[in-house]
Structure formats: C-alpha cells, structure tokens
Amino acid sequence: MSDAKTILVVDDEPDAIEFVTAVISQAGEFNTISATDGVAGLQKAKEANPDLAILDVQMPGKNGFDVFQELRKDEATRNIKVIMLTGVAEKTGIGFSSAEMGEFYGEEPNAYIEKPVDPEALKSKILELIGS
C-alpha cells in the first residue's frame, strides 16, 4: 500500500464525482473513495479517516452541512480537512461562505467552492490543504 493521502468525495451526482475524481488525479497521487449521499459519506469518513473530504451541499439523507457538523463533533473525524462544493448560489441566487458557515456551525470548513467548479481552483485548493 502506498503512502498516498486519501480523499473522500461525497456527491449525489455521479457526473460530479467523476469530474472531481478526474481533478484529483491531475493534482497528484491520491487515493479516492466516494459516496453518493451524506449517510454513506459519513460512514466512509469514519471507516477510512481520509485526509480530505469534498462534500456536496445538497444531497439526500444528510446534506453536506449535516455531514460537516457531524465530522467536527466526532473526535475521530474532527481533523479531516473539508472542502464544501455547492451549486446553491447558481440555483437560488443565495450564496454562502466559509465564514458564514463558521458563524452558524461554530467552525468553518477549510474551503467553500461554488459550482460550476473551476478545475484549476479545486486542484490548487487540494494541494494547499493536503499537498501531494
């Protein structure tokens, strides 16, 4: 087994998972795991303890905000770095930010990126947070 860091991608859209996984592969040698809803994502985070979780906001079961909050409450997962991905602003015209999440949840995610995602910006943020 390699010493590659692990990234968990949680999104209910298979195309989005495929896109993010492709960006991750361009960023460097990372192991990727994925889930298509928040409940499965939370379970995989607890099982695999990834270095980084990339969470979609709008998902069935548990949304990304709920998953983020549960990751931060659990001592075993609280240090997983988190990038929130969201299309909320595009769909509703209402945007959020890391700072606003911090005000509401008491902690900020490591990054908050709006969809459609700029692949270079996502790659850069991944490398900034966990290196290669």
93-108 per-position pLDDT tens digit: 555 555 555 455 557 8
Mean predicted lDDT score pLDDT of the chain? 87
Average pLDDT, integer, range 50-79:
94
Q: What are phi and psi of 102, to 5 degrees?
A: -60, -40
Q: Where are the domains of the chain?
A: 5-126
CATH 3.40.50.2300: does it fit domain 5-126? Answer: yes
pLDDT on residue 1: 45
Nearest to 6, CA basis, from 62, 44, 63:
44
Average pLDDT for residues 107-116, to the nearest whole number?
86
pLDDT band for position 119 (50/70/90)? Answer: very high
